[in-house]
Amino acid sequence: MSDNCENIRDSSEEDTDQMQGVHFINLEEIMDIFEEQQQREEQEFRDSSDEDNHQMRGVHIINLERIREISEEQQQREEQEFEYGNIREREEVKRRIMELEKAYKQKREVFEQQLQLGQELEAEMNKIAAENKDFTNTEKEYRKQKAESRRKLREREDVETQERHQELMSEEESRTRRSYMKEVEDETRLLRKQKEEKTAELEQLLQGNNDKEQIQNLSEAEKESKPKLEQVQEELQRKDAEVVTISWTLIQNNNQIGERLSTIEDLRREQQELQEKLKKRQQKQILTAEKAPSTKRHWSSALDLFFQEQRELREKLNKLKPILSAQKASSTSTVRLKHGSSAMDVKDERHPKNDKWLQCLIFLWKGVKVAGYITFCVLLPVGVIASMAPDCNLPDHDCDLYNVVYDLLDSYCPHHASPV
């Protein structure tokens, strides 16, 4: 680190020397060049003016003065141009000098910052090296103490064995040995405590390495548990998807049941309306006969309409039968939703209501059949009579069933008077 700092210092000093030399050498060279150019131009101007004077001396005096004036004007112009050029060049030189000074200051600041950082790092490295030395020294001391304690323990164990052999000699010696053994045990306990304290200190010192090993073990365990966690997440997602699909099917079934119930109610209303229309039409057909060219066609058209309406009702009820059967089957079915080990049984609670609707429809169908049979039995003889009767061509509006019967019986009883 110190070598790097010295290299940075040397490079910064070389940069400063180069920058200082460039600053002073450029300024002096530029001033010398300007002076040399000015001297050359003055010398050339003088030589040209002398030659002109020699040539024009014997010709005209007025032309010589004019030439001098022109030469003076040219000289003034050239001097002005030269001064203007010098000013621009000086400004350019000043600008460059300022830029170089700024760059030098910036480099100087960067160098000082780097130098300060290098010094700080060097100080920290020295501190760390000193701490490492202290730790190594303490570790060596602990190891030495540990070896000494082991050696003392061995020596004391040897002493204990010898004392055990000597206990058989006499009781007094045994008592003294017992007291000595107690002292030795106390010392061994103290040594063991010291040993435990020192081992704890060593463990604290080596705890950094143990922490690294624990981190590595934890990272390995994490890597091993990642695929298991992914499998569990996939299973949970799959079960969630199953629950969503089952709930969606239940919602669709409930919607279909509601739609079917609404269609059943609509059909019931239509059936009631058709029954009312049928009753009204039967009343109209029985009480008053419509004005038409022939009663035969009228009764045949009425029968056709009746049979057509009855067919439509049968078709609608036939369409409803599979729907009701499917609804009945779906109402008795149960759905189990499984999520892990839990299960839910979902039963249709509309079973009794659907049975009631089915019974109502059956009774309605029986009523329609009975009404159809009655109307058929009534309309069949009336149609037969109408087909056998002649056309009702009376000019008045009394062309009804009573008059038709009278016309039929009139041919069989010619001697009776006609009704008023």
Q: How far apart are CA 174 and CA 164, in angstroms?
A: 8
Burial of 16 (0-12, 13-18, 19+ CB in 10 A): middle
The DSSP call for residue 397 is: S
Q: Which tokens sit at 124?
A: 């920290």
Q: How far apart are CA 206 and CA 200, in angstroms?
A: 10
Whether the predicted pLDDT of 414 surpasses 70: no
pLDDT confidence bin for 350, thresholds 50/70/90: very low
Cα separations (Å) of 285 from 281, 289, 290, 306, 311? 6, 6, 8, 12, 20
Cα separations (Å) of 89 from 7, 101, 222? 38, 18, 72
- Residues forming a β-bridge with 338: 343
Buried b / exposed e over 25-54, threshold 16 CB at 10 Å, is eeeeeeeeeeeeeeeeeeeeeeeeeeebee
Averaged pLDDT, 105-132: 88
Q: How far apart are CA 361 and CA 324, in angstroms?
A: 10
Q: Which tokens sit at 383?
A: 């149609």
At the topology level, CATH places domain 278-388 in Helix Hairpins (1.10.287)
Half-sphere exposure of 192 (CA within 13 A, CB side): 6
- Domain segments of the chain: what residues? 2-165, 278-388
Q: How far apart are CA 89 and CA 29, in angstroms?
A: 13
70 with 4: CB under 8 angstroms? no
pLDDT confidence bin for 176, thresholds 50/70/90: confident
Q: How far apart are CA 365 and CA 265, in angstroms?
A: 14
Q: How far apart are CA 58 and CA 64, in angstroms?
A: 10
What pLDDT is stored for residue 315 in this prediction? 72
Whether the predicted pLDDT of 342 surpasses 60: no
Whether the predicted pLDDT of 259 surpasses 60: yes
The DSSP call for residue 167 is: H
Per-residue pLDDT tens for 69-85?
777 777 777 776 666 66
181: which residues sit within 8 A by CB, 6+ positions away?
160, 163
Whether the predicted pLDDT of 88 surpasses 50: yes
Q: How far apart are CA 315 and CA 282, in angstroms?
A: 22
pLDDT confidence bin for 394, thresholds 50/70/90: very low
Cα separations (Å) of 63 from 44, 57, 70, 175? 21, 9, 10, 151
Q: How far apart are CA 165 and CA 153, in angstroms?
A: 18
Per-residue pLDDT tens for 285-340?
666 544 444 444 555 555 566 666 667 766 766 666 666 565 555 545 444 444 44
Q: How far apart are CA 401 and CA 405, in angstroms?
A: 6
Whether the predicted pLDDT of 4 surpasses 60: no
Whether the predicted pLDDT of 156 surpasses 80: yes
What pLDDT is stored for residue 410 in this prediction? 60
What pLDDT is stored for residue 393 in this prediction? 45
> What φ, ψ does residue 358 adopt, rounded to 5°?
-65, -40
Phi-psi region of 309 (alpha: psi -120 to 50; beta: other; left: phi over 0): alpha
Average pLDDT, the chain: 68
Per-residue pLDDT tens for 40-60?
777 776 766 555 554 444 444
Cα separations (Å) of 302 from 9, 297, 299, 375, 382? 123, 9, 5, 11, 11
